[in-house]
Structure 1
Amino acid sequence: MSTVEQITDPVAAHGEGPVWHPGWPGLRWVDMLAGDVLELNRQTLAVTRFHVSAVVAALRPCADGGTVLAVERGFALADADLRNVRPQGELWTDPGVRMNEGDCDPHGRFYCGSMAYRETPGAGTLYRLNSNSTVSVVLTGVTISNGLAWSPDGGTAYYVDSPTHRVDAFDYDGELTGRRTLFTIDEADGAPDGLTVDADGRLWVALWGGGAVRCYTPDGQLVEQFDLPVPRVTACTFGGAELDELYITTSRQDTDLAVHRQAGALFRARPGVKGRPARTYVEGPALVVQPT
């Protein structure tokens, strides 16, 4: 069992979606329901807050230097410094449904899935923002569309619909096909939330309600666990100059703050392995497969 260190104050009510990109001053993640992007200065560890929308669910760097975001009911583009936010239009009108979590695929397209605020079963959808700015529906009938990541070779995608307690795998060749269950997490251990994949293809899965991040082999075998002092662990990503630091976001939602005062803080572990650079959104008329 490995240890983690707290590196910020409890700065987020609902921290999610950490991303490391060398073109940014440091790590970025979201305080989702506040509509804010948080940025950790890599030298000073100071946190800067940018308000971008009523809700901001996820973000990724763009290949042209900008930023792509998922906001409450759709996608948006912004400058690299998170100024000049340009919403791309609402995908639905129901105010009871919001975006939740996403990632970019090897073709440079940005995915984000939705969920009902009341967690209504089957009310969520996984959407894809294509390079030509059109939007495709990828999956329907999901409840809490959550972690999404690709294997290092780009041939497999991993996906979480949290209430299923499963991490599923898809074959990927431009589309997601051949869905199957990779592994299941016992309800007593929490629900799978955000995830990332390291350079060796292992999956690192945050456990909502489980107070931990677990590492699994590509065939679904549990090999390591990091315990945190807070229950609502939301997501993780590799960062740092060598991509050898695991950054972990947490939430204050549904948490006894008298007991778990560190909830909402950002944590860091040094697992002895490296991650992979964040894939970027490629805006343009043609698909370009990014190097693996």
Structure 2
Amino acid sequence: MAVQRSEPVSIWALGGPLLEGPVWVARDAALWFTDIKRHRIYRYDPASGERSEWAAPDQVGFVLPIAGGGFVAGLKTGLARFDPADGSFAPLCDPEPQHPNNRLNDATVDPLGRLWFGTMDDGEATVSGCIYRLGADGACVRESDLCSITNGPALSPDGRILYHTDTLGGLIHACDVGEDGRLSNRRLFAAIPNEEGYPDGPTVDAEGCVWTGLYKGGAVRRYSPAGELLEVIRFPVSAITKIAFGGPGLKTVYATTARKHCTPEEVAKEPREGDLFAFEVAVPGLPCPEIRVGV
């Protein structure tokens, strides 16, 4: 049975080059997301309609909540503690000082409060990115093989399976997560031909199904925990980067989009490219845990 209950519509006309990292933060009932290329962090409150933004010191791929207040931001220069009260950023950890052309891209928090994130070549060509976990000692632990554009990770509802994406390869992988946070048994979860779009950020719902935005595919896909394609939600724009579940009952899907690789002719045809979108679904998402480890 289809879970989609309404069509995706633009709710914030940003026209951003690369919106990313949407996350519903329960403690303030708002959606947070970024524009990587504009060095911006955004907050959207659907109840009041309030829209807020902050300038970041560099490219910023994600912001995720810390238990007790504040956020961890994924900057090009590494992880930083972000305080929206004064807009400050305090460096925490640079996972790849040996790769100055890499940047942090996408992230999630597991049920134990551990931060997982990926890096990538900012030029989207060199095979130099991988998945990391923030350890209890504040150090970044590498947990994957190299690829050029990492996306995710995302986790199953019990936190025992981690999904991460090789975007240019069109591959979504699954791994088992050990009690110590180590990954094992890496296997192919889904493969998407490039002509159908590039799998971007993955997200998991309450039924354990994996959703992925399709960059240059004009859609979001929903896969069963076994990797079977269940549903395709079409958009009026071509580049969907990631979704997040939010709102009452976590049944509103928010989707970030981008116009970074669009020609002027494509933007004229799809003027809502780079906006924040929303639509309703019948199956809820999962709440985002707060970061409790390593900060």
Normalising by the residue count of structure 2, what TM-score does the alignment of the two structures yield? 0.91
> Counterpart amino acid of 2:185?
G
Q: Structure 1 residues 88, 253: closer, same or farther in 2, change over 3 A?
A: same
Q: Which moved more, 1:192-201 or 1:85-94?
A: 85-94
CA-CA distance at 1:183 after TM superposition: 1.3
125, 129, 132: which is aligned to 1:124?
A: 129
* Conservation of the 8 A alpha-carbon contact between 2:118 and 2:153: no
Partner of 1:289: none
Partner of 2:60: 56
Partner of 2:31: 27
Q: Which moved more, 1:99-108 or 1:264-273?
A: 99-108
Partner of 1:42: 46
**Per-residue CA shift, 1:127-146, capped at 9, x if unaligned?**
22223312212224111011
CA-CA distance at 1:284 after TM superposition: 5.3
> What is the SS of the residue equivalent to 1:124?
coil
CA-CA distance at 1:214 after TM superposition: 0.7
> What is the SS of the residue equivalent to 1:114?
strand
* Conservation of the 8 A alpha-carbon contact between 2:203 and 2:210: yes
64, 70, 76: which is aligned to 1:72?
A: 76
Quick one: distance in 1 between partners of 2:282 and 2:170?
27
Quick one: distance in 2 between partners of 1:28 and 1:35?
14
CA-CA distance at 1:187 after TM superposition: 1.7
**Mind listing any 5+ residue stretches in structure 2 that lack a counterpart?**
none
Partner of 2:285: 275
Quick one: distance in 2 between partners of 1:94 and 1:220?
33
> Counterpart amino acid of 2:286?
R
> What is the SS of the residue equivalent to 1:257?
helix
CA-CA distance at 1:62 after TM superposition: 0.8
**Per-residue CA shift, 1:194-224, capped at 9, x if unaligned?**
0111111011110011010011100011111
Please, what is the CA RMSD of the aligned residues? Answer: 1.8
Partner of 2:217: 210
**Per-residue CA shift, 1:100-156, capped at 9, x if unaligned?**
111122332212211112222421122222233122122241110112111011111
> What is the SS of the residue equivalent to 2:88?
coil
* Conservation of the 8 A alpha-carbon contact between 2:149 and 2:166: yes
Q: Which moved more, 1:84-93 or 1:223-232?
A: 84-93
1:198-277 alignment to 2 at 5 Å?
198-255=205-262, 256-277=266-287
* Conservation of the 8 A alpha-carbon contact between 1:73 and 1:93: no
Quick one: distance in 1 between partners of 2:98 and 2:57?
16
> Counterpart amino acid of 1:112?
F
Quick one: distance in 2 between partners of 1:82 and 1:198?
33
> What is the SS of the residue equivalent to 1:258?
helix
* Conservation of the 8 A alpha-carbon contact between 1:195 and 1:237: no
Quick one: distance in 1 between partners of 2:52 and 2:15?
10
* Conservation of the 8 A alpha-carbon contact between 1:246 and 1:271: yes
Q: Structure 1 residues 138, 284: closer, same or farther in 2, change over 3 A?
A: closer
Quick one: distance in 2 between partners of 1:151 and 1:25?
23
1:185-204 alignment to 2 at 5 Å?
185-204=192-211
* Conservation of the 8 A alpha-carbon contact between 1:8 and 1:45: no
Quick one: distance in 2 between partners of 1:39 and 1:107?
25
Quick one: distance in 1 between partners of 2:186 and 2:86?
35
> What is the SS of the residue equivalent to 2:136?
coil
> What is the SS of the residue equivalent to 2:127?
coil
Q: Structure 1 residues 71, 146: closer, same or farther in 2, change over 3 A?
A: same
Aligned residues: 285
Quick one: distance in 2 between partners of 1:280 and 1:82?
20
95, 113, 118: which is aligned to 1:113?
A: 118
CA-CA distance at 1:80 after TM superposition: 5.4
CA-CA distance at 1:270 after TM superposition: 0.8
Quick one: distance in 1 between partners of 2:52 and 2:38?
14
> Counterpart amino acid of 2:70?
G
Quick one: distance in 2 between partners of 1:94 and 1:153?
33
* Conservation of the 8 A alpha-carbon contact between 1:18 and 1:236: yes
